[in-house]
A and B are shown apart, each in its own frame.
Chain A
Amino acid sequence: GEDVEQSLFLSVREGDSSVINCTYTDSSSTYLYWYKQEPGAGLQLLTYIFSNMDMKQDQRLTVLLNKKDKHLSLRIADTQTGDSAIYFCAERMDSSYKLIFGSGTRLLVRP
C-alpha cells in the first residue's frame, strides 16, 4: 500500500542539527523527496534521492536512505530560525508519476 509517515513536531535550538524522519511502505518507490512549506506559502523542493542511493548531501542538508527499513531522514546542520517550517517527505513509485506525501513535520527553531 501507499503510506508515508512522519512525526508531527520537532523543536531544536538555533545552531543545533535537526533530524526529521520519515517511513514509507512501498518498496517500489523510485524517488524520495523532501519539501519545505513556510506559512502561507507553497511547497519548496529541498532535495530528493534516487532509491539506489544511500546518502545525498547538499550544503547544510543531508538525506539518508535505508531502503531495507524503508526509512528516510533529513538532517539540517546548523539549524537557523529561518528553517522553521513544515517539512514534507514524499515518495514516487516507479509505476506512477504522482507523489505520495506524509503529513508533514513542523520544525520549530528556538533562538
Chain B
Amino acid sequence: DSGVTQTPKHLITATGQRVTLRCSPRSGDLSVYWYQQSLDQGLQFLIQYYNGEERAKGNILERFSAQQFPDLHSELNLSSLELGDSALYFCASSPGEDEQYFGPGTRLTVT
C-alpha cells in the first residue's frame, strides 16, 4: 500500500458524459501527478500540481481538467467522454523531487 488513495476504483459511463476522479496523496506530500494508462498509448503523464498550483502539463486533452484543493487532494475531471478515453487513470504523489508513489488507479470504461 503506497498511501495514495483513489476513488472510485471502477467507473462505467456513456460517451458524452462527464466524470470526476479523486485522489488523496500520501500524508505530507505536496505534489500530485495524474497519469493515463491505455493499451495503445501506454503510461502517459497528464498533469502535475504542487501545493495547489499547476506545475507541469503533459499530454492532457482540452476536455480534461484537474485541480488540487487546499487539503491537497486532487480531482481529475473528464468531459465529453469518448470511447478512446477508456483507460486506467493513476494518481501519484511525491514528497520531493525524486520518488513518485502511485495509487491503485481508477479504471474508466466508456461505452
A: residues with CB less than 8 A from B are 31, 33, 35, 41-45, 48, 50, 88, 90, 96-104
Contact = CB atoms under 8 A, between A and B. Distances in A.
Contacts of A42: 2, 4, 90, 102-105
Contact of A97 (B2, B4, B33, B102): B33
B98 interface: yes
Interface residues of B, number: 25
Contacts of B58: 98
Contact of B56 (A35, A88, A90, A98): A98
Contacts of B103: 42
Given A42-B90, A96-B56, A101 B42 contact: yes
Contacts of A33: 100
B104 A98 contact: no
Contacts of A35: 102
Contacts of A104: 42-43
B97 interface: yes
Interface string B53-95: 0011010000000000000000000000000000000101010
Interface of B: 2, 4, 31, 33, 35, 42-45, 48, 55-56, 58, 90, 92, 94, 97-105
29 contacts: A31-B97, A41-B104, A42-B102, A42-B103, A42-B105, A43-B90, A43-B92, A44-B2, A44-B102, A45-B2, A45-B100, A45-B102, A48-B99, A50-B98, A88-B43, A90-B43, A97-B31, A97-B48, A97-B55, A97-B56, A97-B94, A97-B97, A98-B45, A98-B48, A99-B43, A101-B43, A102-B42, A103-B42, A104-B43
A90 B48 CA distance: 16
Contacts of B2: 42, 44-45
Pairs A-B, 7 closest by C-beta atoms: A98-B45, A101-B43, A43-B102, A42-B104, A42-B102, A42-B105, A103-B42
A104 B88 CA distance: 15
B98 A31 contact: yes
